[in-house]
Amino acid sequence: MGNDDWNKQRVLEVLREAGVNPTSQRVEIGYALFSSCAHLSAEEIMQRVNADYPVVSKATVYNTLGLFADHSLVREVIVEPGKVFYDPNVSLHHHFYYVDSGELLDIPASALQIDKLPDLPLETEVERVEVVIRLRRCTAH
Amino acid sequence: MGNDDWNKQRVLEVLREAGVNPTSQRVEIGYALFSSCAHLSAEEIMQRVNADYPVVSKATVYNTLGLFADHSLVREVIVEPGKVFYDPNVSLHHHFYYVDSGELLDIPASALQIDKLPDLPLETEVERVEVVIRLRRCTAH
DNA sequence: GTGCGTGCAAATGTTTTGCATTAGT
DNA sequence: ACTAATGCAAAACATTTGCACGCAC
């Protein structure tokens, strides 16, 4: 997943289809994001984009990722204060979070089933159900 | 719930029982936290503690809340980038999050049931399963 | 007096804003 | 030329760190 031959032309098309004007900065950020199948922080994305020479500012990385999130091109995952991960997998799924290492791992939607939801407050509808399973290294042997 | 007659003496005892040295700053912060049944941010807690005159610095609020969390006196709930809520309810439960207003509402553990958990990665154990149901105001009439 | 525990000023890290510049018509 | 969209420097905001002070022995 994720590793299926991304190139900048394809990123450009995906952005256009999503209704995002494909500027060079956005294509670079999208390429860094989609061609990695990992859960990256804004900082890591900027490092990848600017690896050779400065291409985008940090502000643009944040604004662009926010824009991508609005257009469902990426999903923000928050597990710790002051740490947001950007997940290029926008299909329905959940996450393991390794408390010790700070790493994030996908859980396919089919591997977890919620069979009883509480009644919703009036006049509201569910946008999304987020499940994070926090894991730590076994203490018991 | 939460409104059951908190006073500073009782906070002091609770801190002592939890193994936290009950300094005056900690009692003030604990009192602000426990006597409110709401989900407060660090900022809001500081405002309450310092309402009349300066009692604690922001750094102490953060460090103290972190300490309380370590001793299971409070639970950190994270829903948005750069926004942590402190929940004095440390029993097992989940949350509704109102995307529009930024408010948080408790879901009792019994109102939501997960009947299938994924296999855990080797050498790990579950610390906690966090479920956040993101709600938005109905668009449909 | 020594050493540990505590609180906070300052440093760091994260995210947002406002505006100068660019691109589109 | 006028207007809207874009990128980024600087500002705002959130959190952590390092160290000075006070308290217990």
Check CB contact of B133 with chain A, cutoff 8 Å.
yes
The contacts of residue A42 (CB under 8 Å, 6+ apart) are A58, A61, A62, A65, A84, A86
Q: How far is the CA of A59 from the C1' of D11 (A)?
A: 12
The DSSP letter of residue B82 is T
- pLDDT for res B83: 87
Residue pair B94/B57 in contact (Cβ under 8 Å)? The answer is: no
Instruction: Give the mean model confidence (pLDDT) for residues A57-76.
Output: 97
Signed CA dihedral, A5, A7, A9, A15: sign only: positive
pLDDT digits (tens, 9 = 90+) for B95-129: 999 998 899 999 999 999 998 999 999 999 999 99
Tell me: pLDDT of B3 over 90: no
Check CB contact of A92 with chain B, cutoff 8 Å.
no
Instruction: Name the nt closest to B43 by C-alpha to C1'.
Output: D14
Q: Which residues of B102-111 are buried (b: 16+ CB within 10 A; e: fewer)?
A: eebebbeeee
By three-state DSSP, how is residue A43 classified? helix
Tell me: pLDDT of A89 over 70: yes
Q: How far is the CA of A21 from the C1' of C7 (A)?
A: 50
Average pLDDT, chain A: 93
CA A95 from centre of chain: 11
By three-state DSSP, how is residue A34 classified? helix
Distance from CA of A121 to the nearest CA of B (A): 9
Least confident among B2-6, B42-46, B74-78: B2-6
Tell me: pLDDT of B1 over 60: no
pLDDT digits (tens, 9 = 90+) for A20-61: 999 999 999 999 999 998 999 999 999 999 999 999 999 999
Angle (CA) B84 B86 B88, round 5°: 165
* Partner residue facing A130 (CB), from B126, B132, B137: B132
Check CB contact of B80 with chain A, cutoff 8 Å.
yes
Tell me: pLDDT of A127 over 80: yes
Q: pLDDT tier at A140 (50, 70, 90 boundaries)?
A: low
